[in-house]
Structure 1
Amino acid sequence: EGVSSRVDSYSMRQPLGVVAGITPFNFPAMVPMWMFPVAIACGNAFVLKPSERDPSASLLMARLWQEAGLPDGVFSVVQGDKAAVDRLLEHPDVAAVSFVGSTPIARYVYESGAAHGKRVQALGGAKNHMLVLPDADLDLVADAAVSAGFGSAGERCMAISVVLAVDPVGDELVRKIVERVERLVVGPGDDPRSEMGPLVTRAHRDKVASYLDLGVEEGAKLVVDGRETAVLGGRGSGFWLGPTVLDHVPVGSRTHTEEIFGPVLSVVRVSSYEEGLRVINEGVYGNGTAIFTNDGGAARRFQHEV
């Protein structure tokens, strides 16, 4: 409406043209669907470059678009690795790029895309903390920690990877977490009994597993070793690493601060709410956090201070 007498202000929203999405392996349908419905609804053509580790979901979505009557060329799929990414970032016809993945690659996509004059949104890594106060229901906390820590084998950006246990509940909480972890069934996705599957590649499994020895070297206690977890049907040649729990993880250690992106739950002991809050706020990663307490005032305070 009018800004002042005889002065109007209005916005014109126009499509950019061709836009691209570069998406990760862990949610090969959901993450692209964050991007292309909005892009296409706004009048853009969309080019999807999915992870080379699981390309088939992108082809299924393209076929569904085609069956729905979308004109050819409005939704396209480009398979490939870094070479395909670089071509999209450099191509003069691509006006904007969305990316979800690790922080180093997000930084590369952002810098390269911006250098070529593109609009870029790049979503990187995470290190999500759960703060547990002494008055919390520890059975509820343990259930949540196991579900949030080991769902999708920990290969998701919203996984809870650090539990901050405020004294004196740490020992009891770890005991309850271990009880639940030992009941988890690890196996292939086509077995309905399986509650957690393998990791995406051998190289990634080995990288995640390396944090178990690193954690011990840094002073943590390896309470549950996922390398020893039984697997339905046997390990065979699968990329298996069972749910792992590290206790007494030192604040600031690599195990605490780096995004592991696997089924490794780190328990950090803190003396107070204030110390736990400081640990969360000093982290270099964001994304998500949670507090478990029966104190509504503490929960509201956390909401504003974190």
Structure 2
Amino acid sequence: MTATQEAPVPATAPELPVVGHWVAGVPAAGTGDRTADVYDPATGQVTKRVALASRGDADAVIDAAAKAWPAWRDTSLARRTQVLFAFRELLNSRKGELAEIITSEHGKVLDDALGEVSRGQEIVELACGLSHLLKGSLTENASTKVDVSSLRQPLGVVGIISPFNFPAMVPMWFFPVAIAAGNAVVLKPSEKDPSAAIWLARLWQEAGLPDGVFNVLQGDKVAVDALLESQKVKAISFVGSTPIARYVYENGTRNGKRVQALGGAKNHMVVLPDADLDLAADAAVNGGFGSAGERCMAISALVVIDSIADELVGRITDRMSGLRTGDGRRGCDMGPLVTGAHRDKVAGYIQQGVDSGADLVVDGRGQEVDGAPEGFWVSPTLFDKVTPEMSIYTDEIFGPVLSVLRVETFDEALDLINSNPYGNGTAIFTNDGGAARRFQNEVEVGMIGINVPVPVPVGYYSFGGWKNSLFGDTHAHGVEGFHFFTRGKVITTRWLDPSHGGINLGFPQSV
């Protein structure tokens, strides 16, 4: 190369898109200069980045919600219902788009992502009945010519802090009810899979929701702390790990907020000798490895009466041999874990189980998968002869690791569950109605399945556990959800003279 020749310019990687906030009906990049990588878990590649809010960004989003709230609060129930129904119809017709977004950022298989959206839609449909769920009561002549009535009113701005494992369903546990009740919402999604929240915001806008009633604040702890500390935010709904749930609950209530914080879990499935073992084996595989075990309701501890343990473990092992792990867009049974760091954490727990003396029946590390080798893979893993002091039992692994604990009696199984610090979900498999009835009566867990491995209740019942799985006294969705997002008033009235409203022969209408 001569002195006059220019050196070739090296090729640069294309600029990755940045997922920003949604503020008062428009996307916003924010003023912060921090971002986080967003991966495609099946390829291990960074596909985009997400903005991490500064405190100023968070305040701007909260201010937008506070500005929009008074008009939405005063919007008639008839109009709110129309918006909810429009959102429901749009979601139903385009849920495939949302499922593809979930799979691309979380990694779960497409069928599982579609199921997530459908379960979230149950809450949208519940919220469409807002006029019934929000109505008050009236007692005439409680005292002479004195009437007493009650009503429920919205809180104002509410914050929703959701986890990575269900980027659509978990927010939909809360925001349809909050919006139906007349509140304005700030959703803080996980920075690991932030795009579903923006898609949902656009859908709300298309459904006719006024700008500012639904907002998205991307970010990390800075955004969380802003929601917890802002005096404009009146309530917080949180789902995540128990340490963070406790942090959110303690700091939110310290700042005068109403808080429901759903934490971690260690869900047990008890199998009695009279159970249908084929049904139990199917349920253990489905409950343990669906969504790669990244469910707060996943079955992670299989408690088996010792006399049938060998046979049940054999049937589970046979079923696991037919599972295909791989890219969720290829029709596989189970996808990758959400990040490389989480994959390494789960693999570390598997090694701890081996080191502590558990019997590793199926090792999910290093197995062949239908996907890129750079993906975040751990295939279904099965341990037998696990004991209660082992970390694979005491800790919430949040991955496809199923641990079998052997007990001699029903009472021993019940005591094991009740002594656990978590109380989210549990199940029993039996054909003995008496045993099932005693189990549901005595077990100290919030959600119970009888021959059902993952007892997530339908939308018109409420979701939530006991003990360290829930901080606060109100569960998600159902009637409890409407109570959480409203507060009551009681009015005592005496009118001394009747009034006359004039003549109008037109048919009365709701507007």
TM-score by length of 1: 0.96
Q: Which residue of 1 aligns with 2:173?
A: 34
Pairing of 1:83-94 with structure 2 (within 5 A): 83-94=222-233
Residue pairs, 1:285-296, within 5 angstroms? 285-296=422-433
2:142 touches 2:148 (CA, 8 Å); kept in 1? no
In structure 1, stretches of 5+ residues that fail to align are none
Three-state SS of the structure 2 residue aligned to 1:73 is coil
- 2:340 aligned with 1:202: yes
- Corresponding residue SS for 1:205: helix
Q: Residue 132 of structure 1 contacts residue 166 of structure 1 at CA under 8 Å; is this kept in 2? A: yes
SS at match of 1:268: strand
In structure 2, the partner of 1:125 is 264
CA RMSD of aligned residues (A): 1.4
In structure 2, the residue corresponding to 1:70 is in which secondary structure? coil
Q: Deviations over 1:157-182 (max 9, x none)?
A: 11000100102011111111111111
CA distance in 2, matches of 1:255, 1:2: 60
Counterpart amino acid of residue 268 in structure 2: H
Residue 153 of structure 2 corresponds to residue 14 of structure 1: yes
The residue type equivalent to 2:373 in the other structure is G
| Distance across 1 between alignment mates of 2:199 and 2:281 | 38
Write out aligned runs for 1:269-288 (5 A): 269-288=406-425
* Residues 170-206 of structure 1, C-alpha deviations (whole Å, 9 max, x = no match): 11111111111111000001102x0000000111111
Which residue, 244, 266, 276 being the options, matches 2:381?
244
Alignment partner of 2:303 out of 157, 164, 168: 164
The percentage of counterpart residues that share the same residue type is 67
How does 1:215-254 map onto structure 2 within 5 Å?
Answer: 215-233=353-371, 235-254=372-391
- Paired letter, 1:284: P
Q: Which one scores higher on RCO, CA 8 angstroms, separation ≥ 6? A: 2
CA deviation vs aligned residue, 1:104-130 (integer Å, no higher than 9, x gap): 110111111111111111000011101
2:292 touches 2:334 (CA, 8 Å); kept in 1?
Answer: yes
Residue equivalent to 2:219: 80
Unpaired runs of at least 5, structure 2: 1-138, 444-511
Find the structure with the greater CA-based Rg.
2
In 2: Cα distance, 1:186 partner to 1:3 partner? 67
Amino acid at match of 2:227: L
Once the two structures are superposed, the pairs formed by residues 28-177 of structure 1 within 5 Å of their partners are: 28-177=167-316
SS at structure 1 position matched to 2:406: strand
Instruction: Confirm or deny: 8 A CA contact 1:219 1:250 kept in the other structure.
Output: no
Q: Matched residues in 1 for 2:141 and 2:404: separation?
A: 55
> Quick one: which amino acid aligns to residue 260 of structure 1?
I
> Which residue number corresponds to residue 97 of structure 2?
none
1:257 Cα deviation (Å)?
A: 1.8
- TM-superposed CA distance for 1:4, in Å, is 6.2
Equivalents in 1 of 2:334, 2:141: separation in Å?
Answer: 58
**Ranges of 4+ aligned residues in structure 1 off by more than 4 Å:** 2-9
Shift of 1:228: 3.0
Per the TM alignment, residue 211 of structure 1 is displaced from its structure 2 partner at its CA by 1.1
Which AA in structure 2 matches 1:209? A
- Gap change, CA 1:178 and 1:12, over 3 Å in 2: same
SS of match in other structure, 1:228: coil
**Distance in 2, Cα, partners of 1:305 & 1:35:** 30
Following the alignment from structure 1 to structure 2, what is the Cα–Cα distance between the partners of residues 76 and 191?
Answer: 34
1:186 alignment partner, SS class:
coil
Q: Report the alpha carbon displacement of residue 8 of structure 1 after superposing the two structures with TM.
A: 5.7
What is the letter of the counterpart of residue 337 of structure 2? L
Which residue identity is paired with 1:161?
Answer: S
Determine the structure 1 residue equivalent to 2:402. Answer: 265
Aligned equivalents of 1:24 and 1:105: distance in 2? 11
Deviations 1:190-228 (A, max 9, x none): 102x00000001111111111111112222111110003
